A and B are shown apart, each in its own frame.
Chain A
Amino acid sequence: MKHPFLESDLYYNFKRTPIAVLSFFVFLIIVIMAIFADIIAPHTPFEPLTLNLLNGFTPPMQANEFTGTIFLMGTDDQGRDLFSTILFGLRISLFVGLMAVFLAMVIGVTLGLIAGFVGGVVDTVIMRFADIQITFPSILVAMLIYGVAKGLLPPDLRYEMSITVLIISIGLSEWVPFARTVRGSTLVEKEKEYVISARMLGLSYPQIMVRHILPNILSPVLVIATITFALAIITEATLSFLGVGVPTTKPSLGTLIRIGQDFLFSGEWWILLFPALTLLLLALSINLFGDWLRDMLNPKLK
């Protein structure tokens, strides 16, 4: 017996689109490497005890002049093995991206459903709120939230909270596209017969929204989620450039790139190249996959 998914149009098309297959597998490999970073990574760069400053700026595949150690992708300014640091940094970036998208999705879908289904004043208030939110583009919102959180939290908590703050600030700034799309789709769905009959059966609003409307509007949400995921990872990088990212002792991919760009002119190309390439591959594969997904799920373009 084959799983029904293997016989679906989606899977059939997927198999026949090399770019979709390729991007999906690139993404998969990156994710797997991040998850198993503990096993794959030859060093433990987040463990300060294991670092030796004298290893700093070792080029890839060359022995360090003081310690003689050889590193696959070289080391950064603190003597961290770049390959290992990228793997652990990926973990942070993926986690931040994933959680931020999840948060944005939950907020956006909920508000969008309510706005579209309930309508009236509630709709106006929510969508007005969305307008205000979009007045402040994502990086501005993130900077604001970050500023408040840093001000309110005690100094020793700040460190632990920095990732959470990133997630919340990116998540909060990206919910509007979800809400707008879901609201639009809900407006269409709610006029359909199955919703009307569910209403006549006396089902409660939340039940109708979650059980009946939600499954029918999931595909555009999925597409937005993919694109937002890539966006969230890049926003994290941008925020670290503006000085509001994760601490440099436990760098994310974005923080690594921010550090690396300082060494662009000085000849230590590997400190920028490898993290940037990883981010590029990651975001590109998500975007390409998201593209394909949108083409598939959007019947208008077939």
Chain B
Amino acid sequence: MFKKLVIPAVMISFTVASASAETVRWARAGDAITMDPHAQNEGPTHALNHQIYDSLLQRDMSGAIIPSLATDWSALPDNPKIWRFNLRKGVKFHNGASFDSEDVVFSLNRARADGSEMKELLSSIKEVRAVDSHVIDIETNGANPLLINNLTNMFMMDKDWSEDNDVTTPHDVAKGETNFATMNTNGTGAFMLVSRSVDEKTVLKANPNYWGKDNYPNQVTEIIYTPIQSSATRVAALLSGEVDIIQDVPVQDLGRVSSTDGLQLATAAQNRVIFLGLNTVEGPTSELKVRQAMNIAINRDSIKKVVMRGQSDPTGVIMPPFVNGWTKELNKYPAYDLDKAKALMAEAGYSSGFDIVLNCPNDRYINDEAICQAAVGMMAQIGINVTLDAKPKAQHFPIAKGGDADFYMLGWGVPTFDSHYIFNYLVHTQTEDRGSWNPTGYSNADVDAMIVSLESETDLSARNDTIAKIWANVQDAQMYLPIHNQVLNWGMKSNIDFDVQPEDQPHFQFLKFN
């Protein structure tokens, strides 16, 4: 299964284009928090760092893993605990230093150090060793067949540069630390940092010595990145031609953007599912029949049609389609059936309904508050009197994970593209180090054991069987009411040819002008 990937999925040779100066002005809602590649595990931070730093492997526009600084990799046939990576030769950092296995060992150890937010993703690693100047081995504690899934956002830094500038460990945001790497960079990526003013403007220019010159179009010579928080202003900036590409186009403005001369939309499914969580321990929602009634009282089609303007993919499972374990059957959502829902409510002894508070973020997911509002109306149809409490994410998340909420909204992206990531956070019983986002009170010792067993199962078909079993349990327990998978929309000038990446990370070396 994990053989050498000899030919990358995307490998287009362009030799002429990089000559002319082409600036791309790029805007999205939020700025990166830091330029230190291991200090934060967060979308906008990774997206900006991806322009400057490379990882050993990367995901292409379809989400498939392709080579980057490693040209090929495999687990050793005689020892599945050891992964061997062959590194790309002739790669130079922005400061001219050569990239070799010392840098990889250094960077992975840095990402595992205290203060790193990336260390959970590498928790299965026992040791990283240099075999020779361009070969490294990663030894894991148990066999970890999915290790490479965790390496796509694991950026490589230059060992000497880091030592010279005293940034051999990530700055620990928790301790209020900051370091040289917060505002300064030295990567191997397609772009070099020219200037940066947080929340205002970051300028990048093309790296003249980029190793991927012949692998990607590389037509962009300069990137001007400006975060614009207000969605109306962001759309206005695109409509008036002040920026060339924006992420996070509000769904109501998609029509306007696509019908404007000189602008176009690029659309793709996002790796993020939106759902409502329920308290399974206390109150009326502890009745399975009530949860089932609520599930079929949600009219997913009309949410898609009106609130999302067609830009969503309704689902019956809390798993985006990219994820290992996803099936069409699981994804199928139940028909909207008010009569059956009312009957279930009556059977559960709640024919006259009950009162409940729905906690909802209002600045996190696409139209989050409007979806919750629609849910209020739908729950009213089966007698449930819902009070909506919508708040900024800073105030919503502590409630949503603290267990204070009986009914709340959450969205979940799966960076490893594997079901285990969902189970570990949302299904496992809430303990010290697992189930941190499962405040529903759902707790099943068998399921917990199965989740843990996934981590060391090397037989992939047996592993997939276990995954299917866990999903069957989750679907029966119905502690989550799935709504839909989000759809990503990037608005851009018509002369830009660029695919939407499912993790919402534009990789500008892939961008082409036409």
- Whether the pair B252, A262 counts as a contact (CB closer than 8 A) is yes
- Whether the pair B357, A53 counts as a contact (CB closer than 8 A) is no
Inter-chain contacts of A247 with B (CB < 8 A): 388-390
- Whether the pair A155, B357 counts as a contact (CB closer than 8 A) is yes
- Considering only CB atoms, which chain B residue lies closest to A77 in the complex? B370
- Whether the pair B302, A78 counts as a contact (CB closer than 8 A) is no
A144 at the interface (CB under 8 A from B): no
A265 at the interface (CB under 8 A from B): yes
- Whether the pair A249, B299 counts as a contact (CB closer than 8 A) is no
- Whether the pair B373, A78 counts as a contact (CB closer than 8 A) is yes
- Considering only CB atoms, which chain A residue lies closest to B363 in the complex? A243
Inter-chain contacts of A243 with B (CB < 8 A): 362-363, 391-392
Give the residues from 96 to 126 in chain A that come closer than 8 angstroms, CB to CB, to chain B: none
- Whether the pair B239, A155 counts as a contact (CB closer than 8 A) is no
CB of B113 to closest CB in A, whole Å: 35
A264 at the interface (CB under 8 A from B): yes
Complex: A249 Cα to B377 Cα, angstroms: 9
Complex: A48 Cα to B388 Cα, angstroms: 11
- Considering only CB atoms, which chain B residue lies closest to A243 in the complex? B392
B503 at the interface (CB under 8 A from A): no
- Whether the pair B307, A262 counts as a contact (CB closer than 8 A) is no
Inter-chain contacts of B391 with A (CB < 8 A): 243
Complex: A193 Cα to B302 Cα, angstroms: 74
How many A-B residue contacts, CB cutoff 8 Å? Answer: 85
- Whether the pair B231, A262 counts as a contact (CB closer than 8 A) is yes
A69 at the interface (CB under 8 A from B): no
- Considering only CB atoms, which chain A residue lies closest to B356 in the complex? A156
A57 at the interface (CB under 8 A from B): yes
A261 at the interface (CB under 8 A from B): yes
- Whether the pair A53, B390 counts as a contact (CB closer than 8 A) is no
Instruction: From B272-280, B379-387, B431-439, B475-483, give the one contacting chain A.
Output: B379-387
* Contact A266/B252 with A155-B404, A243-B362 known, Cβ cut-off 8 Å: yes
Give the residues from 352 to 381 in chain B that come closer than 8 angstroms, CB to CB, to chain A: 357, 359, 362-363, 369-370, 373-374, 376-381
- Whether the pair A49, B380 counts as a contact (CB closer than 8 A) is yes
Complex: A264 Cα to B252 Cα, angstroms: 10
- Whether the pair A265, B307 counts as a contact (CB closer than 8 A) is no
- Considering only CB atoms, which chain B residue lies closest to A158 in the complex? B389
- Whether the pair A53, B399 counts as a contact (CB closer than 8 A) is no
A54 at the interface (CB under 8 A from B): yes
CB of A66 to closest CB in B, whole Å: 8
CB of B492 to closest CB in A, whole Å: 17
* Contact A248/B369 with A48-B380, A243-B362, A265-B235 known, Cβ cut-off 8 Å: yes
Inter-chain contacts of A266 with B (CB < 8 A): 252-253, 255-256
A263 at the interface (CB under 8 A from B): yes
- Considering only CB atoms, which chain A residue lies closest to B235 in the complex? A265
- Considering only CB atoms, which chain A residue lies closest to B259 in the complex? A267
* Contact A156/B357 with A54-B306, A247-B389 known, Cβ cut-off 8 Å: yes
A221 at the interface (CB under 8 A from B): no
CB of A35 to closest CB in B, whole Å: 26
Inter-chain contacts of A53 with B (CB < 8 A): 299, 302-303, 306-307, 374, 377-378
CB of B403 to closest CB in A, whole Å: 12
- Considering only CB atoms, which chain B residue lies closest to A78 in the complex? B373
- B377, B378, B391, most chain A CB atoms within 10 A: B377
B462 at the interface (CB under 8 A from A): no
Chain B interface, >50% SS class: helix
Inter-chain contacts of A263 with B (CB < 8 A): 252
- Whether the pair A265, B357 counts as a contact (CB closer than 8 A) is no
- Whether the pair B252, A159 counts as a contact (CB closer than 8 A) is no
Complex: A265 Cα to B263 Cα, angstroms: 15
Inter-chain contacts of B303 with A (CB < 8 A): 53
What is the 8 Å Cβ interface bit string for chain A, positions 35-73, against chain B (1 contact, 0 not)?
000000000000111011110110000000000000000
Complex: A159 Cα to B359 Cα, angstroms: 11
Complex: A54 Cα to B381 Cα, angstroms: 14
* Contact A267/B256 with A48-B386, A159-B357 known, Cβ cut-off 8 Å: yes
* Contact A267/B232 with A243-B362, A248-B390 known, Cβ cut-off 8 Å: no
Complex: A224 Cα to B239 Cα, angstroms: 43
Complex: A155 Cα to B235 Cα, angstroms: 35
Complex: A127 Cα to B376 Cα, angstroms: 48
Complex: A48 Cα to B405 Cα, angstroms: 21
- Whether the pair B232, A262 counts as a contact (CB closer than 8 A) is yes
- Whether the pair B256, A265 counts as a contact (CB closer than 8 A) is yes
- Whether the pair B232, A261 counts as a contact (CB closer than 8 A) is yes
- Whether the pair A79, B306 counts as a contact (CB closer than 8 A) is yes
What is the 8 Å Cβ interface bit string for chain B, positions 32-51, against chain A (1 contact, 0 not)?
00000000000000000000
CB of B303 to closest CB in A, whole Å: 7
For A156, give its contact among B253, B299, B387 (CB under 8 Å): B387
B126 at the interface (CB under 8 A from A): no
- Whether the pair A267, B255 counts as a contact (CB closer than 8 A) is yes
B469 at the interface (CB under 8 A from A): no
B236 at the interface (CB under 8 A from A): yes
A268 at the interface (CB under 8 A from B): yes
- Considering only CB atoms, which chain B residue lies closest to A271 in the complex? B252
CB of B395 to closest CB in A, whole Å: 8
- Whether the pair B357, A48 counts as a contact (CB closer than 8 A) is no
Complex: A57 Cα to B363 Cα, angstroms: 22
Complex: A52 Cα to B381 Cα, angstroms: 10
Complex: A262 Cα to B231 Cα, angstroms: 8
- Whether the pair B387, A159 counts as a contact (CB closer than 8 A) is yes
Complex: A54 Cα to B378 Cα, angstroms: 11
- Whether the pair A48, B306 counts as a contact (CB closer than 8 A) is no
- Whether the pair B253, A78 counts as a contact (CB closer than 8 A) is no
- Whether the pair A265, B386 counts as a contact (CB closer than 8 A) is no
Inter-chain contacts of B389 with A (CB < 8 A): 155, 158-159, 247
Inter-chain contacts of A158 with B (CB < 8 A): 389
Complex: A173 Cα to B256 Cα, angstroms: 41
* Contact A265/B236 with A48-B377, A79-B306, A156-B387 known, Cβ cut-off 8 Å: yes
B305 at the interface (CB under 8 A from A): yes
Complex: A101 Cα to B167 Cα, angstroms: 57
Give the residues from 233 to 251 in chain A that come closer than 8 angstroms, CB to CB, to chain B: 243, 247-249
Complex: A156 Cα to B395 Cα, angstroms: 15
* Contact A249/B376 with A155-B389, A156-B387 known, Cβ cut-off 8 Å: yes
B250 at the interface (CB under 8 A from A): yes
Inter-chain contacts of B405 with A (CB < 8 A): 155
CB of A113 to closest CB in B, whole Å: 40
For A77, give its contact among B302, B305, B306, B363 (CB under 8 Å): B306
Complex: A267 Cα to B255 Cα, angstroms: 9
- B231, B252, B255, most chain A CB atoms within 10 A: B252
- Considering only CB atoms, which chain B residue lies closest to A251 in the complex? B373
Complex: A266 Cα to B250 Cα, angstroms: 10
Complex: A261 Cα to B299 Cα, angstroms: 27
Give the residues from 241 to 300 in chain A that come closer than 8 angstroms, CB to CB, to chain B: 243, 247-249, 261-268
Complex: A176 Cα to B239 Cα, angstroms: 44
A-B contact pairs, 18 of them (CB 8 A): A48-B379, A49-B380, A52-B377, A53-B378, A54-B302, A57-B306, A78-B373, A79-B377, A150-B395, A159-B388, A243-B363, A247-B390, A248-B388, A265-B236, A265-B239, A266-B253, A266-B256, A267-B255
Known contacts A48-B376, A248-B390; 9 additional CB pairs below 8 A are: A51-B380, A53-B377, A54-B306, A79-B377, A155-B357, A155-B389, A243-B362, A249-B373, A265-B235
Q: Which residues of A contact B (CB under 8 A)?
A: 47-49, 51-54, 56-57, 77-79, 150, 155-156, 158-159, 243, 247-249, 261-268
**Ordered nearest first, which 3 A-B pairs have the shortest CB separation?**
A48-B380, A56-B306, A266-B252
